[in-house]
Amino acid sequence: MAYTIETHGLRKTYGETRVLEGVDLEIEAGEVFALLGPNGAGKTTTVRILSTLLAPDRGSARVAGHDVVTEAEAVRGAISLTAQEAAVDGLLTGAENLRMMARLRRVKDKRRVEALLEQFDLSDAAHRRVETYSGGMRRRLDLAMSLIARPEVIFLDEPTTGLDPRSRGAVWEAVKALADGGTTILLTTQYLEEADRLADRIAVLADGRIAALGTADELKARVGRETVELFFADGESLKRPVEGAEDVRRLLDDLAERGTPATRIALHKPTLDEVFLALT
């Protein structure tokens, strides 16, 4: 099977520090793939290699069918990168930044700029200099610029850091729409809720290697089962691991037959936070 992004044995060292120790990834077209890990785990280094900004010491990587080292120009033509720092020109207006990027990427659809301004809630500020924008507005503009050419692959390196909940929601909607349209997205994030909501699959980087890989539910299942907590009229409570609704029903029926029915019930699922802490 041909993958849109694939790496084999990716290694990178900075001096005496080994950042990547053999990273293997296979990401399909249209997939939203999240890369999690503590600071220094190698997330940004992986993105920089895949976007041709950094050469690996060993191993190989291909993006959109092209080798990131020997076919770097072809890779750049197929991707867009939103790095951790917003790359916008403060002396230009928001609309001018987008039009400049459209010219650079040879986008002829004049409606694309207006559509992106509206999508990222920047229409009212379109003709203001970006130096007057808030940090969240700059970030939204940076993301809009990365989407101007509808790239085949998008790398989002912590795209919603510093954004308010409304702006973060706008980014999430944009990511979902792009994936639905067939764009492959690799994102790094410190927000585990973001990975949980957006990603088809998640890889956890730890000590330069992939410590775990799977869907959010698969990763959660590695650290524990669902538990049900029952509360009673006398103030006591009871916790039990369960497997599905049938287990819960049997437990409630058993308690009712014993004359101690529950007055309230709460279901607790393992979280990505627990996965993250357990694996890193």
pLDDT digits (tens, 9 = 90+) for 148-205: 888 899 999 988 877 788 878 878 888 888 888 889 999 998 888 889 989 999 999 9
Burial of 87 (0-12, 13-18, 19+ CB in 10 A): middle
- pLDDT above 80: residue 46: yes
Helix (H, G, I), strand (E, B) or coil at 130: helix
Rounded-to-integer distance, Cα 89 and Cα 20, Å: 33
Please, are residues 64 and 153 in contact by the beta-carbon 8 Å criterion?
A: yes
What's this model's pTM, rounded to 2 decimal places? Answer: 0.80
* pLDDT at residue number 43: 92
Mean pLDDT, residues 58-68: 96
Mean pLDDT, residues 221-245: 79
- pLDDT above 90: residue 66: yes
* pLDDT at residue number 47: 95
Amino acid at 119: Q
* pLDDT at residue number 73: 96
Please, are residues 151 and 183 in contact by the beta-carbon 8 Å criterion?
A: yes
Mean pLDDT, residues 211-215: 93
Residue of 223, 171, 218 whose CA lies nearest to 196 = 218
* pLDDT at residue number 1: 63
- pLDDT above 90: residue 225: no
Between 150 and 243, residue with greater pLDDT: 150
In this prediction, residue 135 has a pLDDT band, given cuts at 50, 70 and 90, of confident
Between 30 and 2, residue with greater pLDDT: 30
* pLDDT at residue number 186: 96
Question: Which fold would CATH assign to domain 5-214?
Answer: Rossmann fold (3.40.50)
Q: To the nearest whole percent, how much of the chain has pLDDT over 90?
A: 49
pLDDT digits (tens, 9 = 90+) for 101-133: 999 989 988 899 999 999 888 999 999 999 999
How is the chain split into domains, by residue range? 5-214, 224-270
Residue 94 CA, chain-centre distance (Å), reads 25
